[in-house]
Structure 1
Amino acid sequence: MHTEISERDLLQKFWEIEAEPKENKKRLLTEEEIKCEEMFKNTTKRDENGRYIVKLPFKSSNPPCKYGNSKEIALKRFDMLDKRLSKNKKLQKEYSNVIQDYLDLGHLEVVPNNEEDEPEAVYLPHHCVIREEKDTTKVRVVYDASCRDKNGESLNSNLMIGPTLQDDLRTLIMRWRGNPICLVADIEKMYRQVKVSKEDVNFQRIWWRDITNPESVIKSYRLLTVTFGTASAPYLAVRTLQQLARDEGSNFPAASEIILQDF
């Protein structure tokens, strides 16, 4: 998860919550949010299967996180993770299954040998979050895109967060109470349904080996989809969903309206 809190933002939210609601009032975007929106509009594509491909919204064309030698830091963090998981065989197996799911679905790939030594690649440490309330998948792998490199930079500090696209909870609840029946649904692996452009996947490298097999060799992998833990992931996922609703709205008008108004 990624969050930024400032006294100014907290005070602004306080006044917005306390103020009387105004119909059709749109929040003014900051200069960075406008830039992020323009980048999405100008660079987002769809592949031959209709799946959306987005670029990571960097603040500059030459992000400093490329030069901080994150490779060594991520390797040390993986060694610590490996030792920790070796003491809990059940958790070790579940963690391995999650990464294997990434590979099976094509959301993760081994870095080709001829690209292994790419000096500007960014490596992300990763760890697990255990969700006891889940009946099925209890382990979630989280990628630490806020990890600082030797220059004090991180992938998240170089990314634009993007504007808030959804209505506030109060508005959604008031609208929800106007209907006799409520249906709740979840989009499975929502972030991972959106692909990241080939130019940016090397900013999402990780170290991995089959931790259930002591003989396996550690290799470089790269994440090919929007990744949980990056600052721009919530914006990219929701913005893509809204774009889908607009692009396919004529074919699915009811679904499009729900996505744009009630998601």
Structure 2
Amino acid sequence: MPSQQLPSQVRAECKHLSLADPSFDTPAPVDLLLGADIFPQIWNNDNIQLGPGLPSAYSSQSLEIFPQSLAVTLSTSIESLMERFWNIEEPAAAPLDFTEDGQCETIFNSEMYRNYAGQYFVPLPFRSDSSDRLFPGMHEVALRRFYQLERKLLRDPILHNAYRAFIREYEELGHMSRSEESGDYFIPHHAIHKLVGDELKLRVVFDASAKCQAGYSLNDRLYVGPKLQQEIIDVLTGFKVKEYTLHTVTCGVNYAPYLALRVLQHIADNECDDFPAVQQTLRYQTYMDDICAGAESIVAAKILRNNLIEVLARAGLSLKKWSSNCVDLLDDLLDKDCACNPLAFDRGDGIHVLGMEWIPDTDCFTYDISAIKWSSEYLSTLQARGCWLKSQENVKLGAMVVLKDNSLPPLKWRLGRISELLPGSDGVVRVVRVLTKQGVIVRPVVKLVLLPTN
């Protein structure tokens, strides 16, 4: 102390004093701190003021001292001090190996391997050892769910045929095979379908969240894995009862997105030294199971396409459902590998990608809002008049209503809530007060439309 050399006139003013610290005007480490409990006991009630902004000399029982606090200047902002305080209080982050994400990475790196064909074999990242890999009663749970599915399929021949075709293709693709011995875990599944025009779209969902008799599921016993999925905005801008063994990572289990994307990252890190564009695409232009990429020219796009096919083929992965806003990029691909025939682009057929619909010929994304039927199907019917003589129950206090207005289309009618009932002498409510955004108004019941609240 002090933090910087004091002016020479300060020492000159104190030359006649017997100082406790002869070098009080020169910056140096602190030797002794006197607390407020000691200072009054040694002070003789005498002091010398050296001027504004300068320290004061206080007379003690034996020597002159300079209170340290008066010789200190604050050179650090309060914001910096608070930031340092919170950094000290913030606990250090746990080492990666001690986190669930780190454990999952360790299991993947230690147990993942590739076969002679280059295909990846990935482990199930169990949270702990053998006791958690037992699922008592899971065979009965899966069998019961299958019988339910079978009864549903027998009632719908079209759905039944689509389901059989899916299971047959799943087996032919090598995703599963008949089990030669009873397994430790049986995963239930069910079929989800919808009609798109005259075509039945079917998807089989495997339910790894189904709980066994012990009260836990396969998903409960597996690590989810770290989030490797890129944000969508970043991607857009840049039969009989038989037991089968699944050979591939299937949807429905919580670790599937992690393992699928982790394999692609491993390929990008280890297989793309000669293909930087492929590495960039696999890392930053992949969303779920869609690879969305482009290039500055048709030639560059073809090179990227061919390199993607080559690199992923080494790992036993084949790319399907190719689509492009340039038909030249699809001409030399097999029709079965394309999302649709390039000639169909002239009809405006859409390619579903990233939860949206891509129109290749205009190179734009669209949303299907046909399911929003409130305005088009419900409000447009409110002008229909019911039978005037039909007896109806009184309206209820608090009911949500739409206020009819013959001068406006239904989509412009106001919304309100009944705040007071005004019954007649016969007890029938024909007039009510309605609370709207503009205030409370009195309205005949016949000029209101009750909204369903269930």
Q: TM-score, normalised by structure 1?
A: 0.67
For residue 223 of structure 1, the aligned residue among 246, 262, 273 is 246
Deviation (angstroms), 1:257: 1.3
Structure 2 SS opposite 1:219: coil
For residue 37 of structure 1, the aligned residue among 102, 105, 120 is 105
Contact 2:193-2:200 at 8 Å conserved across structures: no
C-alpha change, 1:102 and 1:89, in structure 2 (3 Å) is: same
Deviation (angstroms), 1:166: 2.6
* 1:234 and 2:297 are equivalent in the alignment: no
1:9 is matched with none
C-alpha separation between the residues in 2 aligned to 1:133 and 1:252?
A: 40
C-alpha separation between the residues in 2 aligned to 1:240 and 1:135?
A: 37
Paired residue type of 1:237: A
Deviation (angstroms), 1:255: 1.1
1:245 is matched with 268
- Which has the bigger relative contact order, CA under 8 A and spacing at least 6? 1
Where do 5+ consecutive residues of structure 1 fail to align? 1-27, 177-209, 211-216
Structure with max Cα Rg: 2
* 1:52 and 2:115 are equivalent in the alignment: no
Paired residue type of 1:67: F
C-alpha separation between the residues in 2 aligned to 1:255 and 1:134?
A: 37
C-alpha change, 1:159 and 1:140, in structure 2 (3 Å) is: same
Bigger proportion of residues as strand: 2
For residue 165 of structure 2, the aligned residue among 94, 97, 111 is 97
* 1:254 and 2:322 are equivalent in the alignment: no
The count of aligned residue pairs is 191
C-alpha separation between the residues in 2 aligned to 1:136 and 1:258?
A: 33
Contact 1:131-1:140 at 8 Å conserved across structures: no
C-alpha separation between the residues in 1 aligned to 2:148 and 2:244?
A: 18
Contact 1:65-1:154 at 8 Å conserved across structures: no
Moved over 3 A (4+): 131-137, 169-173
The CA deviation string for residues 92-129 of structure 1, in whole angstroms up to 9 with x for no partner, is 010111110111111111011xx23x5xx111111012
Over the aligned positions, Cα root-mean-square deviation in angstroms equals 2.2
C-alpha change, 1:45 and 1:137, in structure 2 (3 Å) is: farther
2:228 is matched with 165
1:197 is matched with none
Q: TM-score, normalised by structure 2?
A: 0.40
Bigger proportion of residues as helix: 1
Structure 1 SS opposite 2:279: helix
Identity across aligned pairs (percent)?
Answer: 36
Matches within 5 A, 1:104-123: 104-112=172-180, 115-116=181-182, 118=183, 121-123=184-186
